[in-house]
Chains A and B, each alone.
Chain A
Amino acid sequence: MLEQLLIFTRGGLILWTCKEIGNALKGSPIDTLIRSCLLEERSGAVSFNYDAPGAAYTLKWTFHNDLGLVFVAVYQRILHLLYVDDLLSMVKQSFSEIYDPKRMSYDDFDETFRQLRIEAEARAEELRKTKQVGKPVSSVKKQGQVSKAGLEGGNKRVSEGGSKKDDGDGNKAKVSTLTNGHSNGNHQMEDDSQETDLANGKENTSCNVAVDLSKLQKLRSKGVRGRGGVRKTDSIGNKSSKVAAAEPAKKATKKNRVWDDAAPKQSKLDFTDSVDDNGNNDHVDIVAADQGESMMDKEEVFSSDSESEDDDEPGSDEKPAEAKKKGWFSSVFQSITGKANLEKTDLGPALKALKERLMTKNVAEEIAEKLCESVEASLEGKKLSSFTRISSTVQAAMEDALVRILTPRRSIDILRDVHAAKEQRKPYVVVFVGVNGVGKSTNLAKVAYWLQQHKVSVMMAACDTFRSGAVEQLRTHARRLQIPIFEKGYEKDPAVVAKEAIQEATRNGSDVVLVDTAGRMQDNEPLMRALSKLINLNQPDLVLFVGEALVGNDAVDQLSKFNQKLSDLSTSGNPRLIDGILLTKFDTIDDKVGAALSMVYISGSPVMFVGCGQSYTDLKKLNVKAIVKTLLK
């Protein structure tokens, strides 16, 4: 049964809760919903799962954008309630009739709600009965038609056989007919895991293709997924089904990297005792020691031209009389033209154009899709303000959403964290992770340079014990910057090397330890396990994911897989996930800055540094306004 149904304003005041259902909710699901879903621009998703000690809830919501109201229904996850969406829309309709901005309590709504609930439950019962009647019919297609005929119309989606495309509200039919996996209720999702939202969002978009294709494939190939693995967990299964639909060009499973048992000439790989080139030593040291100010410390100057020339929205209330006059005239105008509220059909073309534009800027396709859904959800039903076109309203809303996503959720003041760790007399440990070739070692050196400029003592740890030349590379950087480096050569266990490096740092009083790891593909199971072991064993203060700005749709996959592996393979109760992103090779893209957006959206962690060149000073902070401007140009 329904645990709770709340109505509150966007400003946060609760207007009405259902008093019949007296249960207090465990934990704080509503606040978590707002913080991790609605404010993260995932309001296009269909439901949200919340786990608290002692309860597992699913939340569904709907907005009334014109009045600024939010309607949320909470129920136990194990019950697949079919009538929730229907109930929410009916509640929305009837409540908006009695809503008055001056009124704060709506006790008379209890009665209305009770009736609505009974109605909705009755309808759901009927629906279920007709579905059960329709089952014994032989052909799949016929079943679809029978159930279609038996329905009362509205938001029902028939998934098997004939796919009737519907505007995503009707989950009920889907939930009742789908057997497993694809239903929302089965997803094991923590608050931070973004993956299932992805799968949800993809499946529940107005295009039903994802679900149908995957079902067909399932029927055809009997459980052989695109990724060629046994179906381990529901989430992975869903992910692969989604991938199977979205990327029919199947990616073959990565072959495991084979560690040659013959151990080719181990001595040759170990260059710890090599002869340094004495000639240029001192020269190099002095030259590299001071290359000037790191770009992190330079103020970014960018021209602030008007964001949108045609936008007439009077933001400030400086001339209230004029605004009032405008309002009256435009309402007259609009009453003549007849269009007041924004509908989905109005927003459709504008959003589509925006999505195309975002994709040309190298934003991953699914991210652009989800963003557009979220903006649509927040604009639907809103009244057009005076003298603005639909496209400019949509643009403004999208800009708002982008700024909100790119603004970090927590403070990214690393120097402050370093000072805090210094007081506790432990070194601040940063681990750089990422796939091959993104620039981890180069940017590690840049970060070391920047920290050095701020009088922080740094130590490097060479835990890339696989790639030939990795240790030498770091050693060269260390020599140029004159900072100590801890290394144990090649073919050693990186987790152990890191542990010893941290002990060494505690001994000689270094403030920061920068740990370099080997690049690894996100699908490579043994390597991801090794990384997880390193992180679990050493519990670093900051796990920095290094990603290049050139990456396209793969960014989504990389980040989600990394996060997932880190949380799956973690031994403790609190898994350490990726805390920050370092965006590299930013100078190679002119205005195709979308990778930043994809990465931030999918992982929820902020971009802490941006690498924009190959020398030590080429490290800067992310300029949110400039990026948003470039994305929407």
Chain B
Amino acid sequence: MDNLEDMKIVAEQWWKQGIEFVQQIPPPQLYTAIGVLLLATIWLLSIRLFRRTKSNTVLLCGLSGSGKTTLFFQLRDGSSHQGAVTSMEPNEGTFVLHNENNTKKGKIKPIHLVDVPGHSRLRSKLEEYLPRAAVVVFVVDALEFLPNIRAASEYLYDILTNASVVKNKIPVLLCCNKTDKVTAHTKEFIRKQMEKEIEKLRVSRSAISTADIANDFTLGIEGEVFSFSHCQNKVTVAEASGLTGETDQVQEFIREHVKP
């Protein structure tokens, strides 16, 4: 009891001292001090708020001609309209996936889908979007797979060793497009071939001196043949067809990793 009363008295004394001190400060200074404090707290709060909202950006990338733009419009509108040509600029949009629009499940968070052009001269656009991506969908042409396998594997390797992807453990979906055609390869085949090619890349890129490595990180485990399970971020394979609208696997993947 005594301690409590003592503490009360001490607190009251401090309080009085504080008020006296405050009253001594001339008003303009006081106001500016309060103003600065307020601003600082607001700023800090807003930054924290911004950081806390998890990004909902989905990146569609892949070689030129793999069907990204078609897939983009398929996901957005449910139809690929009249076809697409080689993109010169990225296609961006924030929307709810078309299929989900029909099934009313309550409030669905829209996703920000970005279709980055695949042409090698526009490769630098990818660098702009990668840091903010939550998910990367790497589209591969399952029809013309073998002629382009080297370029595709190099692109995928560059993505998997990119600093943002590794640090943020961004999940990657290897989407095999154009599976509606009869001669398209299966996703297992594509997966194995890509793993083989990346293994070759890994060997040749790590055989050169340390300063020459253009990539920020190396992939896989030393001494073992590369497999997608070695990546720290999750890499899955799926099939899709942009023209006919079979994009269920892709949508599942997106839903899984972009938390509503």
Contacts and interface: CB of A to CB of B under 8 A. Distances in A.
A453 interface: yes
A22 to B, nearest CB: 14
B82 interface: yes
B155 to A, nearest CB: 9
Contact of A31 (B82, B86, B200, B205): B86
A297 B211 contact: yes
Contacts, number: 105
Given A404-B122, A407-B121, A419-B204, A14 B82 contact: yes
Contacts of B200: 419
B12 interface: no
A415 B204 contact: yes
Interface in B93-123: 115, 117, 119-123
A35 B85 contact: no
Given A299-B211, A404-B121, A454-B207, A11 B69 contact: yes
Contact of B211 (A13, A14, A298, A410): A298
B87 A10 contact: yes
Contacts of B115: 11-12
A13 B81 contact: yes
B119 A11 contact: no
Most interface-central of B50, B65, B124, B203 (chain A CB within 10 A): B124
B151 to A, nearest CB: 7
A11 B86 CA distance: 8
Interface in B190-247: 200-201, 203-205, 207-209, 211-212
A39 B65 contact: no
B120 A407 contact: yes
Contact of A12 (B69, B120, B209, B212): B69
Contacts of A109: none
Contact of A39 (B121, B201, B205): B121
Contacts of A40: 121
B88 interface: yes
Contacts of B211: 293, 297-299
Interface core residue of B50, B73, B82 (most chain A CB under 10 Å): B82
B154 interface: yes
Contact of B86 (A35, A297, A318, A454): A35
A73 to B, nearest CB: 14
A296 B214 CA distance: 11
A181 interface: no
Contacts of B204: 415-416, 419
B88 A453 contact: no
A403 interface: yes
A26 interface: no
A12 B82 contact: no
A17 B82 contact: yes
Contacts of A39: 86, 88, 119, 121-122
B88 A16 contact: no
A411 interface: yes
B69 A13 contact: yes
A416 B150 CA distance: 10
B22 interface: no
A34 interface: yes
B248 interface: no
B77 interface: yes
Contact of A30 (B50, B85, B120): B85
B197 to A, nearest CB: 11
A137 interface: no
A409 B121 contact: yes
B119 A15 contact: no
Given A14-B84, A30-B85, A408-B120, A453 B91 contact: no
3 closest A-B pairs by beta carbon, nearest first, are A12-B87, A11-B91, A12-B69
9 contacts: A8-B84, A10-B87, A17-B82, A35-B119, A297-B209, A407-B121, A409-B121, A411-B154, A415-B204
